[in-house]
């Protein structure tokens, strides 16, 4: 199949054509010509106003609902939601029931086309180690404690101690459970006005400090056996203080990386003033100062990637009183359009790298560069206002999006992977 894309602005920062408007011609899944003007026949011609080409999206944080949670998301709706958002690579958290904690289950997920994060402990109970080396040999390179942080200090220290010998990443979504327990929203003005128990920033920063201290300890007792590719990754930062802690750790030379969920870059605690349960997320939306601190972390490279934290929740668990509602928002379909809009408004240099090339590098995969002879992989998007985001537009089985009613300034027109083209 021949695909001709007319007059798109190239947003692949690696390409010699970056920032230029070009015509692109592909045949049988490979680029065969890139020029300012191509006059050739094609099976599919894409010509859209104000169109751009971007590498595909890589999402490092997707809550896994399978098996056990088919009523929230199944394999087909997960794939459909990903394609709608231009996501061709995603990391599934070890959050299924039962947890994917055998070599066979990790290989099954990989055969489905996803990247599986393996659990640190059996059933995420924080009691006994999972078969870490067997999971690594089966293809797992990312390890985490479900969707959160391993609270058992000795177990966390030993996980770091053991896994630092391998080229893997240990993931922590920082949280001190004894401080955040029963909390509903950020501890601050809105929690006071609404009479809801708050979740303090301290719950996050204390966890980061603990894990950094543990990392320092195991690094000074590695006996020369630490892998140069080992990393401790902090996921879903939500506060300016957290950004500064990661900044200091990186300056110190510790093997640390971090990400932030895209909704944390858009909303503040004021968004839950109307008790909208779709905006009940964990960690919670915090202050305007925290939002600015997160953007500063992106601008200065302290934050390495932006994620969706896609968390499907059934209607019944959101259509209740706020303090009884489940935490979480879906986000696979809106990661690209929400971040593109927010980042471009703030004039972030090479903004789209934070949802494509940078997370791909962290994951150890390669997205093909836009050049003649390379495999086609990416998306065409346009700058045009959409209708307000509505449930009818959602491909995911769950509809709990914090962006419902939001109007985006960009729209994904199509996604190309090899010889396959999916139009939105």
Closest CA to 234 of 281, 142, 289, 172: 172
Question: Residue 317 and residue 353: Cα distance in Å, rounded?
Answer: 35
Q: Are residues 332 and 270 in the same domain?
A: yes
Q: Are residues 400 and 260 in the same domain?
A: no
Q: Are residues 264 and 320 in the same domain?
A: yes
CB atoms within 10 A of CB 154: 8
Q: CATH code at 26?
A: 2.30.40.10
On whether the CB atoms of residues 165 and 226 are closer than 8 A, the answer is: yes
Q: Are residues 340 and 417 in the same domain?
A: no
Q: Are residues 328 and 410 in the same domain?
A: no
Q: Are strands 115-119 and 87-92 parallel, antiparallel or unpaired?
A: parallel
Q: Are residues 98 and 230 in the same domain?
A: yes
Report the domain count for the chain.
2
Task: Tell me if the pTM is above 0.85.
Answer: yes
Provide the residue range defining the domain that includes 21. 2-54+372-423
Residues of the chain with pLDDT under 50: none
The reported pLDDT for the residue numbered 344 is: 87
Q: CATH code at 118?
A: 3.20.20.140
Provide the token pair at 10.
């190239």
Q: Are residues 95 and 38 in the same domain?
A: no
Q: Are residues 96 and 192 in the same domain?
A: yes
Given 320, 341, 363, which residue is the final one in a domain? 363
pLDDT tens profile 335-393? 999 999 999 889 999 999 999 999 999 999 999 999 999 999 999 999 987 789 999 99
Q: Are residues 410 and 330 in the same domain?
A: no
On whether the CB atoms of residues 21 and 64 are closer than 8 A, the answer is: no
Closest CA to 127 of 100, 107, 106, 150: 150
The 3-class SS string of the chain reads: CEEEEEEEEECCCCCCCCCCEEEEEEECCEEEEEECCCCCCCCEEEEEEEEEEEECEEEEEECCCCCCCCCCCCHHHHHHHHHHCCEEEEEECCCCCCCCCCHHHHHHHHHCCCEEEEECEHHHCCCCECCHHHHHHCCCCEEEECCECCCCHHHHHHHHHHHCCCCCEEEECCCCHHHHCCCCEECCHHHHHHCCCEECHHHHHHHHHHHHHHHHHHHCCCCCCCCCCCEEEECCCCCHHHHHHHHHHHHHCCCEEEEEEHHHHCCCHHHHCCCCHHHCCCCCCCCHHHHHHHHHHHHCCCCCEEECCECCCCHHHCCCCHHHCCCCECCCCCHHHHHHHHHHHCCCCCHHHHHCHHHHHHHCCCCCCCCCCCECEEEEEEECCCCCCCHHHCCCCCCCCCCCCCCCCEEEEEEEECCEEEEC
Given 320, 339, 363, which residue is the final one in a domain? 363
Given 317, 342, 363, which residue is the final one in a domain? 363
The reported pLDDT for the residue numbered 61 is: 98
The reported pLDDT for the residue numbered 385 is: 73
Q: Are residues 68 and 50 in the same domain?
A: no
Question: Residue 134 and residue 139: Cα distance in Å, rounded?
Answer: 9
Q: Are residues 46 and 63 in the same domain?
A: no
Q: Are residues 110 and 200 in the same domain?
A: yes
CB atoms within 10 A of CB 82: 27
């Amino acid at each position: 199949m021949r695909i001709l894309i007319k007059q798109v602005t190239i947003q692949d920062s690696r390409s010699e054509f970056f920032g230029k408007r070009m015509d692109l011609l592909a045949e049988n899944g490979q680029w065969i010509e890139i020029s300012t003007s191509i006059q050739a026949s094609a099976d599919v011609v894409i010509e859209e106003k104000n169109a751009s080409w971007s590498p595909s999206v890589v999402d490092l944080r997707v809550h896994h609902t399978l098996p056990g949670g088919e009523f929230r998301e199944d394999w087909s709706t997960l794939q459909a939601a990903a394609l709608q958002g231009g996501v061709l690579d995603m990391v599934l958290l070890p959050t299924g029931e039962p947890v994917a904690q055998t070599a066979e289950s990790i290989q099954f997920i990989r055969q489905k086309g996803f990247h599986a994060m393996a659990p640190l402990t059996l059933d995420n109970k924080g009691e006994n180690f999972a078969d870490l080396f067997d999971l690594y040999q089966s293809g797992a390179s990312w390890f985490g404690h479900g969707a959160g942080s391993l609270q058992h200090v000795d177990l966390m220290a030993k996980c770091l101690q053991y896994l630092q010998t391998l080229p893997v990443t240990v993931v922590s979504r920082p949280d001190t459970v004894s401080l955040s327990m029963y909390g509903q929203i950020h501890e601050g003005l809105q929690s006071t006005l609404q009479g809801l128990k708050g979740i303090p920033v301290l719950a996050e920063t204390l966890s980061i400090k603990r894990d950094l201290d543990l990392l320092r300890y195991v690094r000074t007792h590695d006996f020369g056996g630490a892998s140069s590719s080992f990393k401790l990754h902090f996921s879903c930062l939500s506060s300016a203080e957290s950004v500064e802690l990661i900044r200091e750790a990186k300056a110190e030379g510790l093997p640390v990386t971090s990400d932030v969920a895209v909704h944390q870059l858009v909303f503040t605690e004021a968004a839950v003033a109307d008790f909208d349960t779709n905006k009940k997320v964990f960690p919670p939306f915090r202050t305007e100062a925290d939002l600015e601190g997160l953007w500063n972390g992106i601008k200065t490279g302290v934050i390495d990637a932006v994620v969706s934290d896609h968390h499907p929740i059934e209607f019944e668990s959101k259509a209740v009183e706020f303090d009884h509602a489940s935490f979480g928002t879906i986000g696979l379909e809106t990661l690209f359009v929400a971040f593109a809009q927010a980042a471009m408004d703030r004039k972030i240099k090479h903004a789209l790298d934070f949802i494509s090339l940078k997370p791909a590098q962290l994951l150890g995969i390669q997205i093909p560069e836009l050049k003649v002879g390379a495999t086609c992989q990416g998306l065409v998007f346009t700058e045009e206002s959409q209708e307000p985001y509505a449930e009818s537009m959602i491909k995911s089985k769950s509809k709990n999006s914090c962006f419902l009613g939001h109007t985006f300034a960009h729209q994904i027109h199509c996604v190309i992977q090899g010889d396959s083209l999916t139009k939105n």
